[in-house]
Structure 1
Amino acid sequence: MNELLEVLRHQAAHFGPELARTAFQRGLAVTKKDGTRQPIPITATPVILEAAEVRRRCELAARLSSAALKMAEAVLGGNSQEVLLGGLSPLERAIAERTWRQVSRLATTRVDFFVGAGQQPRALEVNTTIPAMQGYSDIAARVFLEVVARHFRYPERALASLLTLNGSNALALYRALLDGYAAERPGQMPETIALLCRRHDAQISELQYLAERFREFGADADVVHPEDVSGDDAFIAHGKTYQMVYRHLFVRRLEENPSPWIEDFFGTVPGRKAVFLNPPTSQVEEKVTFALLSQALATPELAEGAQLTPEELEAIRVSVPWTRRFRHGPTGGPMGESLEDLVATVAAEPQRFVLKRSWDYGGKAVFIGRSVGTVPYNERAQALYGAPLPWAELCERAVADPTGGGYVVQELVETSPEPHVLCTETGVLPTSLYVDYSAYASVGLARQPAWGGVCRGSMAEIVNIVGGGGVIPLITAEVAHKLLMAWKAL
């Protein structure tokens, strides 16, 4: 749909400011600690994919998520539990030890991909703790379609159908929660849903948007905070009893601001006081677990121990880049070559590798070898190790650093900046952005809801919303064609 993208680039100055303003009003924003909100940038240029490709990526995400859950269970049920438990904080560890055997359903997961020139998505990591942006993705796509369609004089009466055709991750999340609830409480549906987060959470506007959508879909939903909650045998906030809880709260936040009631609630899966289908699962999201998925392709006994299916192994084969625990010693390399010492090879060939702390978030401990000497690389090294270290020295520091379970090393997934048009309330700016693609999925449900994806863009190679990235609307090729036909009819 290059023709539509060219039209959008030329017309962006006319609709871009309204696009940015409306997206911010709907909730595309980061909330600061003082409660003020900062707009998340949005582009006038979407990512356009065939609906079948969106579904294919979600199927990949579902198989990778299921495989990661199985791998984590195999490790925790074996003799090497410290591989995963050792990287967790004290409370995370306590909850993992208490709940891992009971975790069979994950209402929502997210797999982050880079898509290179060959258009084959390469998975970077699996997110299961707070796989957010269902609301942000909907806001970006919905506002884009509304603003552009009206600028193109698309029939107002047909706009609702256009939005429905493009899909909704908020609706998919709602259906996943309902299907999971029905599996736990046969014949029942939740009338009340609590979206649990910190007060002034950085993504609270997204949660407020989701609560509004859930109410439209039929449930009485509210955003609630740990200090609001009580109840001896029920989940109660402000006098209301909630039958289901959707968690958007990192366990480590409870260590900063202890809440014994919530800590106990997190320790019961799938919930006694309320059904709880996205429990803390740090052990599944740890990058060591992802590295073990990669290693399972070369180690049949590892795949057998985790009971990975042929479909899961194929998903790993086609989408997971070579990833290993970062340790001294021999191993097989990305091309199947024999490496005498993994650390020595990585230190000598920075352009081939990326180092990632196994358990961390926000990209704070991710080092791209070829970016040595750049401002982002130096800032991360300074923050973690007190100096902008050369690559070889960083490797030695990383291999000796047990924080967060140590590091993994991953082969570099090649990606190049794409041309986009960023929008603000005062104007538009053509720029080049690194773009990732995240696909949603569920684990343990009788059927997958109609998940979609979300695209983020950043001027830096490490893409992160809270760290300054933006959201790129994702639309299907069929929807894009309808917009183009509307433009040509003017």
Structure 2
Amino acid sequence: MQEFLEVLRREAAHFGPELARTAYARGLAVTLKDGATRPIPVTATPVILDAAEIRRRATLSAHLASATLKVTRTVLASEQRELLLGGLSPLERALTERTFANVKRLATTRVDYFVDTRPRALEVNATIPAMQGYSDIAARTFIEGVARHVRYPEEKLPALLSANGSNARALYDALRDGFAAERDGREPRTLALLCRRHDAQISEQRYLCERFREFGVDADVVHPDEVSGEEHFEVRGKRYELVYRHLFTRRLEETPAPWVEDFFSTVPGRKAVLLNPPVSPVEVKTTFALVSRALTDAAFAATAGLTPEELEAIRASVPWTRPFRHGPEQGPAGEPVADLVARVIAEPARFVLKRAWDYGGRAVYLGRSVGTPAFEERSRAAYGDVLSWAELCERAAGDARGGGFVVQEVVESPPEEHLLCEERGLTTLRLHVDYSAYASVGLERQPAWGGVCRGSTSEIVNIVGGGGVLPLITTEVAQALLDAWKAREFPGTDSSGKG
């Protein structure tokens, strides 16, 4: 679709600023601690994939998420449970020990990838696997804005949007099906989207709430300090049958909410169905390292019950990842390594260190970025000084906070040129782009999940910390828009541009 991208680059000045304004108005924004909002930039240059490839990546993510839940369950039931429990906060640990044996399904997960020759999974998110709303806002606003610019028939626009898919709809279907599995096939009448006040992504939660109401459920955004009820989950006298958790459990330690803590302590939930329940160990990066290692440990893979499809998904997409500590290990090519830390010190360009239980990219260290301002800032924030790669590795190997560190083989993510849209105009930037695909675990069928793409000038991609969202559209939708532009510019031509 290079031709379509070239058209967009030429025409973006006409629709880009309005694209940014509309996306911001719909909720593509970060909310600050004081309640103010900051727009998340959107690009005029989308990521374009065949619908079949989007489905393939969703299926891949379903296998990886299922495997990760199985590995988590297996480790927590073993003498190695401290590998996953040790990095959790006191409340996270208490809830995990009380509830995890009863966790059967995850309505939504998100696997984050870099794509070199194929998608390469970097981590699995199940705590707040967000951006279903952000992705829909970006894609919907892009399709509408470009369609109107190229004079695509207005009456056909709803069908074009439908053809591109909706992660908000898939999330709703997953929550509905998860509720039905817990409540004898019933559908929920009321749904609470539970998040903290001034959550960084609260505008997305409000967007999802609006969509859920359109889909037929009485939905509201609620906060922990509002919840009460003797027999039901209630907010201001209104009862909710289903609760969608968009809340890190550890946030309840910062701002205690005893009622919600008690509610989280029962899975799948007495007073309301809770999706997703607290599942912090699934997202701990040590778990991902053990998923990676399962390829070379047949006994562990068998104990965890990993299927051939799950093992193939791991083989095809998971880069070599290991708990980071001194001692012997098997290297990325299967070779014996006498001491893992020494090996990583010797090859900084090949590896990245990540704290096992953290989020937002704050404790991620790329060996090849030593000496850059970003590396030095992270080093100083964690250890009070600017460290060399060797010094950082030694400190990380002995640092047990957050469950210690894992080491992962670097996945290449060459920057791509994109047009970033803001209300004041367009900026051409070279962005590192990731691809995240959603999936459900434990439902009878997978919803029609899609993906979301983020771009950043940094190799450590994170929306709240900066960067933008790239609309993800299908090849079929892109072709329809390109055909409309050709019909406008060259009346009488067919879709190939010929008479």
Query: What is the TM-score when the length of structure 2 is the normalising length?
Result: 0.97
CA distance in 2, matches of 1:289, 1:81: 11
Structure 2 counterpart of 1:9: 9
1:418 maps to a residue whose letter is E
Which of 374, 377, 382 matches 1:376?
Answer: 374
Which residue pairs with 1:121 in the alignment? 119
Which residue in 2 is equivalent to 1:255?
A: 253
Query: Are residue 162 (structure 1) and residue 160 (structure 2) matched?
Result: yes
User: Which residue of 1 is the match for residue 61 of structure 2?
Assistant: 61
- Quick one: which of 358, 378, 382 aligns to 1:360? 358
Does structure 1 residue 330 correspond to structure 2 residue 328? yes
In 2, Cα distance between equivalents of 1:341 and 1:93:
31
Is 1:21 aligned to residue 21 of structure 2?
Answer: yes
- Give the structure 1 partner of residue 97 of structure 2: 97
Alignment equivalent of 1:393, drawn from 386, 391, 406: 391
Among candidates 200, 204, 207, match of residue 206 of structure 1: 204
Q: Secondary structure of the equivalent of 1:410?
A: strand
CA distance in 2, matches of 1:369, 1:160: 47
Which residue, out of 240, 243, 249, partners 1:242? 240
Question: Which residue of structure 2 aligns with residue 298 of structure 1?
Answer: 296
Superposed, which structure 2 residues align to 1:80-95 within 5 Å?
80-95=80-95
SS in 2 for 1:297: helix
Give the percent of matched residue pairs that are identical in Structure 1 and Structure 2: 70
- Give the distance between the partners of 1:2 and 1:375, measured in 2 at CA: 35
Q: Which residue of 2 aligns with 1:187?
A: 185
CA distance in 1, matches of 2:299, 2:357: 25
- SS state of the match for residue 7, structure 2? helix
Map 1:16-55 to 2 at 5 A. Answer: 16-55=16-55
In 2, Cα distance between the equivalents of 1:373 and 1:41?
A: 28
Q: 1:446 corresponds to which residue?
A: 444
Partner amino acid for 1:206?
Answer: E
2:342 corresponds to: 344
Structure 1 residues 413-452: Cα deviation after superposition (integer angstroms, max 9, x where no partner): 0110011000010110111100000000000000000000
Give the whole-Å Cα distance in 2 for the aligned partners of 1:24 and 1:360: 28
Distance 1:307 1:87 in 2: 25
SS of the counterpart of 2:296? Answer: coil
1:196-230 CA distance string (max 9 Å, x none) = 00111110000000000000000000000011100
Give the counterpart of 1:273 among 254, 271, 274: 271
Does residue 394 of structure 2 align to residue 402 of structure 1?
no
Corresponding residue for 1:151? 149
Distance in 2 of aligned mates of 1:284 and 1:252: 15
- The 5 Å alignment of 1:410-489 reads 410-489=408-487
Distance 1:49 1:337 in 2: 36
> What SS does the aligned partner of 1:489 have?
helix
- Tell me which amino acid in the other structure corresponds to 2:43: T
- SS of 1:251's equivalent in the other structure is coil
SS in 1 for 2:250: helix
Q: Distance in 2 between matches of 1:33 and 1:341?
A: 44
How far off is 1:290 after superposition?
0.3
Task: State how far apart, in whole Å, the 2-side matches of 1:331 and 1:76 are.
Answer: 22
Output one character per residue of 1:89-148: Cα deviation in whole Å (capped at 9) or x when no partner.
Answer: 0000000001110001000000000001x2x00000000000000000000000000001
Q: For residues 310 and 473 of structure 2, what CA distance do their matches in structure 1 show?
A: 27
Equivalence for 2:316: 318
Shift of 1:305: 1.5
Any idea what the Cα deviations from partners look like across 1:241-300, whole Å, max 9, x if unmatched? 000000011111100001110001111111110011201111111000000011010111
Aligned to 2:79: 79
2-side partners of 1:16 and 1:382: how far apart? 38
What letter matches 2:53 in structure 1?
E
| Post-superposition offset of 1:338 | 1.4
Distance 1:13 1:389 in 2: 44
Question: In the alignment, which residue of structure 1 is the partner of 2:282?
Answer: 284
Task: State the distance in 2 between where 1:285 and 1:313 align.
Answer: 19
The one-letter amino acid of 1:274's match is: A
Give, in whole Å, the separation in 2 of the partners of 1:178 and 1:172.
10
Shift of 1:186: 1.4
Q: Which runs of 4+ in 1 moved over 3 A?
A: none
Q: Tell me the SS of whatever aligns to 2:289.
A: helix
Partners of 1:293 and 1:313 lie apart in 2 by: 9
TM-score (norm: length of structure 1): 0.99
Tell me the equivalent position of 2:495. none
Q: d(CA) in 2 for partners of 1:388 and 1:315?
A: 38
Amino acid at match of 1:66: S
Deviation at 1:341, TM superposition (A): 0.5
Distance 2:225 2:449 in 1: 32
Question: Alignment partner of 2:473: what SS?
Answer: strand
Aligned partner of 1:228 among 211, 226, 241: 226
How far 1:187 sits from its partner (Å)? 3.1
The one-letter code matched in structure 2 to 1:20 is A
SS of the residue corresponding to residue 409 of structure 1 reads: strand
Corresponding residue SS for 2:379? helix
* Number of equivalent positions: 488
- CA RMSD of the aligned region, Å? 0.6
Q: In structure 1, how many angstroms separate the alpha carbons of the residues matched to 2:386 and 2:303? A: 41
User: How far apart are residue 233 of structure 1 and its match?
Assistant: 1.0
Counterpart CA distance in 1 for 2:274 and 2:187 is 14
Provide the C-alpha distance between the structure 2 equivalents of 1:210 and 1:192, rounded to a whole number of angstroms. 14
Q: Which residue of 2 aligns with 1:308?
A: 306
Deviations 1:286-326 (CA, angstroms, capped at 9, x unpaired) = 00000001101011111112110110000000000000000
Name the aligned partner's letter for residue 305 of structure 1: T
> Which residue identity lines up with residue 457 of structure 1 in the other structure?
G
Distance 2:232 2:444 in 1: 27
Q: Which residue matches 2:496?
A: none
SS in 2 for 1:200: coil
2: distance between equivalents of 1:378 and 1:60? 36
